[in-house]
Structure 1
């Protein structure tokens, strides 16, 4: 079947996420035929760097033979089995590996399917933990106004990006939302580091106002992804963790996007010396190959769910594909590659080059701020550099950037008024230089004086 026929069938039946489908009638979706290493190939054979890691999940490049082989071997032995009262070797091995590399104290692992479910599990576990301890009043959550934690109902309730919440407000529960540590648009009108991350005081105020009704505070460590690739200093996270302890509430860290070396350490929270009560993982867990997620928590939380068969303390939450054996096999192979190829060290070595490359674009028209961490680099575009008035994310310029990027062999997807790179951890220095050269060419071509 020729590509045009596939695209016609796609438009007849498929409904794409985060997409105004009427636009696809004149701007059809790309038809990707295959992927290999750092590249995507369309149906006509054109090659593109996967510069956003296929929505922030690809780690080792596409089609890594070690992961393919691990999944194939597992499929020959055990494809799937329920995980309620049943276990299997891949899940046992993976849970043990995750507990070994996680921040201190996170010894229990609950598997699910994706980032949203990993966070949903943490929210429900926190609330029920307090209930099991006789604290049924602790049902509230504190979150950030630029935070994003997924598209299930609980996750939307503790997110702050209105585009994801607007249509669903009637089914969301209330949460205490405070200004994010957005240094470019400081909520308290100060400058870092002289400010001492004083914006964290709002988090403490919310916990104090909520008092005994607060169950947990939830944050994305060091990088607010869908909120605009906002990077904030480790001291904010460190102080936020201290405030959570001071007020006796759980700390939930959403490392769905930042985990597995993306920021230069295995988990971003390590850079602040923080061990949370819940750690939510997905995306890079399988190297970006199969759907799998994990919510890690402490023995203290786990023990609060123990009791007799009639105690009502069991955690009534689950997923059909919880701890899917093939997904676990992919994750185990991915973790092996982290060790063998020293990927976390590679990211730490290459991050300064990525930062240097995008900083060179700071002087271009409309570029308000350049920011980044690890393998992530972002440019926020504004209408006026002095006033910092944002350029509307619907501006035609962003479609022009995407088209020009494709012409130069880069697959990009701007996020609101932010153009960014979110590169696989396996990127080489040579490939990074090539990507930066193409990326710079795109922006210099479109953002002309």
Structure 2
């Protein structure tokens, strides 16, 4: 029996309607930018396995560091204990985060990092005797699958059965030069009629909304409004963090930094699950008290796992190397060239890019999980390219170590796909 057949016996996969998509592809190994299936077919991982393996699969620098660490300390509770990998990671992170970020809270995945950010924002006001029960978020945002994260997400395709149970959230559109003045007026009205505790947002790129992008100028105006009106800002950088927008964090493109940041995915280079919620000293101080009830009562068994901390530290060290920074510049430039090459194709509606994130919309109706998406996915896999279209959007977010030849294979496959739709 193949691995694919054995999978069907017991496994339930994420974001999958198994009656419509009964088959999975069994991957037996991965190295660099290549996935190998059980039939020895090779696929270029053009989305870094959901934007995690940015330094390549099984990167030897990361795996060697973790191998050394697992001989010393594998796991220890992080409540009442600490350890060197966590301390080293905190010091390295503070050096590259926006300079107002001083405190780091560990968890396990992107959704929980946002959940904690929401709890920080709500409890910040609660601890000061203020009742603020409304959150602000962008339309079409996606922040994860836990209840707080779902509440601030705007994609009902994921959240429909649960919407009656959500937190109180008001939504605004992502800003453009033409809409920012109206958005600011809306914010004034909302601030006068609602008790807004915090604003949760994906800075510059909304990943699950098919890589929808907005300008730093418009977002900065919104953040300034929030700061002036004591609305806690929570930047969800789970997808955008660690170099993907051309800077270490998307928030570094802005004049106004967030109060709280949510990090995961590329944090550990794809090796181990871990997430962080970071905050300014002002946020932390609202919880610092002789009153135990003002503490942040949230914890995960594997918080600050020493192996995951070691993987994260190694990843940050790689991110800051000249080689990786040069690769980020090369990929960014290559995407710009491809964008100019393809933007006038009659089957391309729009193109957009931020750093190493490239996306194009096809001149077809949007169907997030429709037949076109399946047709494109299967075509790309037949060409040895793992791309995961979002409806009528094809996007690239490849590992930083991808070669120019591999990039050209991705571009060529996209151009060939345009001829079959």
TM-score range, shorter-chain basis? Answer: over 0.9
* 1:288-340 residue CA offsets vs partner (Å, 9 max, x unmatched): 211011111011111111122x4411111010110010000001111111122
- Seen in structure 2, the aligned counterparts of structure 1 residues 229 and 82 have a Cα distance that, compared at 3 Å, is same
**Alignment check: 8 A CA contact 1:178 1:202 kept:** no
Q: Which residue of 1 aligns with 2:329?
A: 348
Shift of 1:366: 4.0
Shift of 1:345: 4.5
TM alignment of 1:60-99, pairs within 5 A: 60-99=55-94
Q: Which residue of 2 aligns with 1:13?
A: 10
**Alignment check: 8 A CA contact 2:61 2:314 kept:** yes
Query: When the two structures are superposed, what TM-score results if normalisation uses the length of structure 1?
Result: 0.90
**Alignment equivalent of 1:402, drawn from 361, 368, 377:** 377
The whole-number CA distance in structure 2 between the counterparts of 1:23 and 1:359 is: 37
Q: Secondary structure in 2 aligned to 1:336? A: helix
Tell me whether 1:138 sits opposite 2:120 in the alignment: no
Q: Secondary structure in 2 aligned to 1:251? A: strand
The whole-number CA distance in structure 1 between the counterparts of 2:251 and 2:186 is: 17
Q: Which residue of 1 aligns with 2:246?
A: 264
* 1:46-78 residue CA offsets vs partner (Å, 9 max, x unmatched): 111101110111210101101111111111111
Q: Which residue of 1 aligns with 2:187?
A: 204
The whole-number CA distance in structure 1 between the counterparts of 2:96 and 2:170 is: 32
Q: Which residue of 2 aligns with 1:319?
A: 300
Q: Which residue of 2 aligns with 1:445?
A: 419
Query: When the two structures are superposed, what TM-score results if normalisation uses the length of structure 2?
Result: 0.95
Q: Secondary structure in 1 aligned to 2:419? A: helix
Q: Secondary structure in 1 aligned to 2:351? A: strand
**Alignment equivalent of 1:224, drawn from 164, 183, 206:** 206
Q: Secondary structure in 2 aligned to 1:446? A: coil
The whole-number CA distance in structure 2 between the counterparts of 1:241 and 1:398 is: 35
**Alignment check: 8 A CA contact 1:79 1:326 kept:** yes
Tell me whether 1:296 sits opposite 2:278 in the alignment: yes
Structure 2: which 5+ residue stretches go unaligned?
A: none
**Alignment check: 8 A CA contact 1:103 1:274 kept:** no
Question: What RMSD in Å do the two structures reach over aligned CA positions?
Answer: 1.8
* 1:16-59 residue CA offsets vs partner (Å, 9 max, x unmatched): 1111110233xx11111110001111111111110111011121
Structure 1: which 5+ residue stretches go unaligned?
A: 184-191, 384-389
- Seen in structure 2, the aligned counterparts of structure 1 residues 94 and 203 have a Cα distance that, compared at 3 Å, is farther
Q: Which residue of 2 aligns with 1:339?
A: 320
TM alignment of 1:244-255, pairs within 5 A: 244-255=226-237
Q: Which residue of 1 aligns with 2:310?
A: 329
Q: Which residue of 2 aligns with 1:277?
A: 259
The whole-number CA distance in structure 2 between the counterparts of 1:428 and 1:392 is: 32
Equivalences, count: 421
The whole-number CA distance in structure 2 between the counterparts of 1:301 and 1:399 is: 45
Q: Secondary structure in 2 aligned to 1:34? A: strand
**Alignment check: 8 A CA contact 1:397 1:446 kept:** no
**Alignment equivalent of 2:152, drawn from 129, 154, 158:** 158
The whole-number CA distance in structure 1 between the counterparts of 2:368 and 2:293 is: 48
